[in-house]
Amino acid sequence: MASIVTDFLTIDIKSKPYYVHAKQGYLQHNLLIAAKAGQDVYENTYNKYNNLPYALKENNHISIQEIFRDNWDDFVAHCKATNKPIRNSILTNVENMINCRNLKKGYLFFECPKCNNIYIQGLSCHSRFCVSCGRKYRDARAIEISKTCIYAPHRHITWTIDSSLRCYFQKYRALYNELFEAVNDVLTYLVQGKSKSAKKRNERLGFISTIHTFGRDMKFNPHIHTLIAECTIDNTGKKKPFTYFNYISLRKSFMNQLLKRMYNYLKENAPKKIVSDFYKLKSEIFKNRDNGFYVHAPQTECKNPKQIKKIVNYVCRYAGHPAMSESRIIKYDKENRMIYYYYDPHEDDAILNENDKIGRQYVTESVFDFIAKLIVHIPEEKVHTTRYYGFYANHSSLDTTHLPKLYKLDEINKMKTTLKWRDKLIASYKYDPLLCHCGAVMNIVPDLCYFAGYTKEDG
């Protein structure tokens, strides 16, 4: 069964032993019934059992929910004792996540029409911070983005900031808006800056920006990923290709705009000392950063729908990954409250020669440090971490209805079916939760369902 990890550096994540449930009497009995009902039913039942929380545990799967469940109360007490306040949105998100699928908070009740088997499904927490609910949230967002995209080449732009500015974003979270707006300023100016007629015709690019507050190492590092269509549209609906993105000017004008916006914001909202410190820092940065902030906008092959979809997909997936994926956690030492995990530095992405890469980094840290690193990335309530601009803006006056979309409606509808809880399980974990081991499909029994904490379920 599950091997005990003694040296986290030598463990091969992919070769985890697979837990075989059939050893348990009751489950073995059900598997026999399933085997009689046919190969598909057998496989379905087998996968369903292997995905039960305690089976995953036997299989060395470490869940973030479990880590928080074991340590959250003590962590909160520790923060209180050391006078470190925790934001409300963190408290709500973490508490919801800890109780995700907890039957005490409500469940759906299913029964088999053929045998007397039942199935109970705990309700989901809908927290963006929860591993499974957050994934659903990001999948839905990816579909929204795909639905918005017109049929035109697209590009991925990454906007990073000077590391000395990070602390301001952590202290003043409303500065996220300035970061988004600085990108908007730059991309608006790029088209309209030197042309009065472009301004008059309100010629705009269309783009979608997502904020990330973490680097691969999970440290606080706010930056923006932008998916941009390589064309402009004006108020007559005329579409023009726009493919030239001058790196140097993008970098410089992004730095200028951001520093200006940050300064103005702090002047209004921060104590004088912070403003004067920022003013000094700003001058320092201007002096030392001749090339502006690092902005990355690689051009990729984008000629046919397939290639365009590939880049849109890539950005959606990239912008949608969480700060920490459970698969990166190698070991959780509950007694000593230690966590072992790894990350692959982003610098390595661009390096082709394996020998030149920094390579996988392994981190050993206390559970409290790990929790602190993770929760810092929980956004404030109702803050949109993905925003639409230019002709992609929700309330844009520019008409794009005459332009063909990248995805057809039936493609989008097909994507949407994967969001449903049952279809998601079938797609991700290869089992249908409602397929009984006897081969029949279970039905919901509304009278026996229980709703304590939540009113809505994604079933």
Interface with Zn ion by CB under 5 A: which residues?
100, 112, 114-115, 117, 124-125, 130, 133, 436, 438, 440
DSSP 121-164: EEPP---TTSHHHHHHHHHHHHHHHHHH-BSS-EEEEEE---GG
When the beta carbons of 64 and 100 are compared against Zn ion, the nearer one is 100
Structure tokens at 326: 């459970």
Going by the DSSP 8-state scheme, the letter that residue 111 receives in this structure is E
When the beta carbons of 51 and 400 are compared against Zn ion, the nearer one is 51
- Min CB(117)–Zn ion separation in Å: 4
- Min CB(45)–Zn ion separation in Å: 11
Structure tokens at 220: 């606080």
In degrees, to the nearest 5, what angle opens at C-alpha 314 toward C-alphas 229 and 389? 35
Q: What's the rounded Cα separation, in Å, for the pair 230 and 362? A: 39
- Min CB(144)–Zn ion separation in Å: 20
When the beta carbons of 130 and 231 are compared against Zn ion, the nearer one is 130
When the beta carbons of 77 and 118 are compared against Zn ion, the nearer one is 118
Structure tokens at 55: 């089976």
- Min CB(38)–Zn ion separation in Å: 13
> Would you say 62 and 329 are in contact if contact means Cβ atoms under 8 Å apart?
yes
- Residues with Cβ within 8 Å of 258's Cβ and at least 6 positions away in sequence, in order, are 161, 165, 178, 179, 182, 293
- Min CB(112)–Zn ion separation in Å: 3
When the beta carbons of 116 and 401 are compared against Zn ion, the nearer one is 116
Extended strands (E) in 256-346:
295-296, 329-333, 338-343
Q: What is the dihedral of CA 35, 40, 44, 50, to 10 degrees?
A: 70
* Residue 438 burial (CB count, 10 A): 19
Phi, psi of 191, rounded to the nearest 5 degrees: -95, -40
Going by the DSSP 8-state scheme, the letter that residue 405 receives in this structure is B
- Min CB(198)–Zn ion separation in Å: 46
- Residues with Cβ within 8 Å of 244's Cβ and at least 6 positions away in sequence, in order, are none
- Min CB(132)–Zn ion separation in Å: 5
- Min CB(119)–Zn ion separation in Å: 10
Helices (H) and strands (E) in the chain, counts: 15, 13
Q: Write down the residue that tokens 């269309």 correspond to.
A: 206
Tally the C-alpha atoms within 13 A of residue 130's C-alpha that lie toward its C-beta.
Answer: 20
When the beta carbons of 115 and 444 are compared against Zn ion, the nearer one is 115
When the beta carbons of 31 and 436 are compared against Zn ion, the nearer one is 436
When the beta carbons of 127 and 158 are compared against Zn ion, the nearer one is 127
Phi, psi of 214, rounded to the nearest 5 degrees: -125, 150
> Would you say 340 and 330 are in contact if contact means Cβ atoms under 8 Å apart?
yes
When the beta carbons of 358 and 448 are compared against Zn ion, the nearer one is 448
- Min CB(311)–Zn ion separation in Å: 30
When the beta carbons of 133 and 186 are compared against Zn ion, the nearer one is 133
- Min CB(134)–Zn ion separation in Å: 7
When the beta carbons of 68 and 242 are compared against Zn ion, the nearer one is 68
Q: What is the dihedral of CA 343, 347, 351, 357, to 10 degrees?
A: -50
In degrees, to the nearest 5, what angle opens at C-alpha 293 toward C-alphas 302 and 281? 165
- Min CB(253)–Zn ion separation in Å: 41
